[in-house]
Each structure stands twice: as C-alpha cells, then as structure tokens.
C-alpha cells in the first residue's frame, strides 16, 4: 500500500482527476443545499435569460435555473454511473470467478455467453431493450448494468486462471477447504486490483451512455434533470440559448476526463511493472 500511494501521489494528473471527482461527488450530495433555485419551478418572466447574477448559468425554455438543474443532474448522472457499474461488477465477478475456477464446460459456457453479448453493439442493444420498457432512472441503471458486465468477467476469469495454481490455493485445497471458501476468501481478494481499475473506468462510460440515452429522449425523463436531457432541451434553442448546450457538455467532458485520469493513475500505481516505469519517468524528468 505504501508503494501504491507513493506512485499514485507522484501522478499529478491522477491526483487532479481524483480531486475533481471528489468535488463532483460533494456537489451532487449537497445539491439540495447548494442549488440557489428550485430546479423544477418554471418562471415565464425569465425564459432563456442569459447568464447573469441571479441565474449564474442562465435559464432554460421554461425559465428554470440551469445551475440548479445542473447540480441535480450531477446527482442523477453519478448515481447512474455508480449503481450501473456496481451491478455490472457484481455480475462480472460472479461469472468470471465461476469460469476461471471451475474451467471445463462451465468456463466454455460462460465465455460463449460473453462472446454472444459482445457481438451486439451495446448502445443499440440498450436502445432495443428500452424500446420495450418504460424509461426511468431505475430502468437505465439496471439495463446499463446488465449489458456491461462482460469486460469484468473476462478480467476476473484471467486472474482466477493465474491464481488457482498458486501455492496458497493448492494448500487450501489440500486441507479440505470448500470451493466457495477458496474463491471468496483466498482467490478473489487477490484478483480485485484489475476489477477496481475496471470500475473506475466503467463509471464515465456509464455516464456517457446515460447522457446519450437522455439526449435521445430514452433516458431520464422530465421533469427530472440530467445532463443528457438538459442537452436535449438546449439543442432546439442553441442559436439563442448557447448556455443550455455549453455547460452540460463541459460538465460531461470534465467528469469523463477526470474519471479516466483517476482510473489510469490507479492502474499504474497497482501494477508493479508500470509503477517502476512511471517512477523512472518521473525521476528522469526531475
């Protein structure tokens, strides 16, 4: 852990990404306190007001404060990212552990299922599923999670194949430990490093997916705010209300970039080979 934190602390881009992610989480949690206006309250006297002191990011077509809707939209976008990635990680870990530890027909069956899921483009698969379901935030979370577990399953399977031949696993088998105990107490804790990286990199992908679906009108439905449906509302007034498209787009860009920088920093810090190369690079720069 000391080596991990030492390498991570030297990576200024990763630290910057982590700081921005932390700030976004704080803003999302404190949105009801920080929002200066009711995000759902229209005001016909202030329709499409430009950014000014009472409305720092302007107003939309119904006179609602864009800053307040952005803060509440951060709650939705981050919640979708965390919950959907949590669902995908849980499914991927379970199936990857079963495939890697048991091998044989179980491994072959699970991997064929992974291949089958990867054949379909994920975004079009989401569109097809949502066409038959009622769009809501819970539906979006579940569908994104249920269609995004394949990468985690392959990572966990690869780690299990490598770890199940290690001495501590063979010793556990020799003393009569059950397969369940070996998987969850001995192998899985040693296979969590790539899973942690995959989770960190999966959150921005889920946020982008939710934003794209909401932009198309299949994601979070009004009056609830998300960055995607704010963009959708802004596209019709982009010539006179540029702020409706600019600020949500910048928020999505910063969030995705910050998560990717954080995930890459964690990946470098957790991998001893990459960590040594990064330390040499930093020392050479000094």
pLDDT at 276 (0 to 100): 54
Total count of domains within the chain: 1
Domain that holds residue 127: 76-261
pLDDT at 217 (0 to 100): 79
pLDDT tens per residue across span 5-34: 777 778 888 889 899 999 999 999 998 888
pLDDT tens per residue across span 30-54: 988 888 888 888 887 888 888 888 8
Range from 91-100, 130-139, 265-274 carrying the lowest mean pLDDT: 265-274
- What is the C-alpha separation between 211 and 215, in angstroms, rounded? 6
Residue 170 lies in a domain: yes
Residue 225 lies in a domain: yes
Residue 209 lies in a domain: yes
**Mean pLDDT value of segment 82-97:** 91
- What is the C-alpha separation between 82 and 156, in angstroms, rounded? 19
- CATH code where residue 224 lies: 1.10.3720.10
Global pTM? 0.82
Residue 283 lies in a domain: no
Residue 31 lies in a domain: no
Residue with tokens 């000094």: 286
Question: What is the CA angle 147-230-75, rounded to 5?
Answer: 60
Residue 247 lies in a domain: yes
Residue 29 lies in a domain: no
C-beta separation of 67 from 35 below 8 A: yes
**Mean pLDDT value of segment 200-220:** 85
pLDDT tens per residue across span 246-264: 988 899 999 999 998 888 8
- What is the C-alpha separation between 245 and 278, in angstroms, rounded? 38
C-beta separation of 251 from 259 below 8 A: no
Residue 256 lies in a domain: yes
Give 143-179 as a DSSP string.
HHHHTS-HHHHHHHHHHHHHHTTSHHHHHHHHTT--H
pLDDT at 46 (0 to 100): 84
Mean pLDDT of the chain: 83
pLDDT tens per residue across span 55-75: 888 888 888 888 999 999 888
pLDDT band at residue 281, thresholds of 50, 70 and 90? very low
């Amino acid at each position: 852990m000391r080596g991990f934190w030492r390498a991570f602390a030297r990576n200024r881009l990763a630290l910057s990404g982590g700081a921005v992610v932390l700030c976004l989480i704080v803003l999302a949690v404190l949105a009801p306190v920080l929002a200066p206006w009711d995000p759902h309250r229209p005001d016909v006297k202030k329709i499409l007001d430009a950014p000014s002191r009472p409305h720092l990011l302007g107003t939309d077509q119904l006179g609602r404060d864009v800053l307040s809707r952005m803060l509440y939209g951060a709650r939705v976008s981050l919640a979708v990212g965390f919950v959907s990635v949590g669902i995908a990680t849980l499914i991927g870990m379970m199936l990857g552990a079963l495939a890697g530890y048991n091998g044989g027909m179980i491994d072959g069956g699970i991997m064929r299922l992974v291949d089958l899921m990867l054949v379909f483009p994920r975004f079009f698969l989401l569109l097809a599923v949502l066409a038959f379901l009622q769009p809501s935030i819970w539906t979006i979370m579940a569908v994104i999670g249920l269609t995004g577990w394949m990468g985690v399953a392959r990572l966990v399977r690869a780690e299990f194949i490598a770890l199940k031949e290690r001495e501590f696993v063979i010793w556990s088998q020799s003393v009569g430990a059950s397969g369940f105990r070996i998987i969850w107490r001995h192998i899985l804790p040693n296979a969590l490093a790539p899973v942690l990286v995959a989770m960190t990199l999966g959150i921005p992908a889920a946020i982008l997916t939710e934003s794209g679906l909401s932009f198309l009108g299949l994601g979070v439905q009004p009056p609830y705010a998300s960055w995607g449906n704010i963009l959708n509302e802004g596209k019709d007034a982009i010539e006179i209300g540029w702020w409706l498209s600019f600020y949500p787009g910048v928020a999505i860009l910063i969030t995705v970039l910050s998560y990717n920088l954080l995930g890459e920093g964690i990946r470098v810090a957790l991998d001893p080979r990459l960590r040594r190369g990064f330390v040499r690079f930093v020392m050479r720069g000094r």
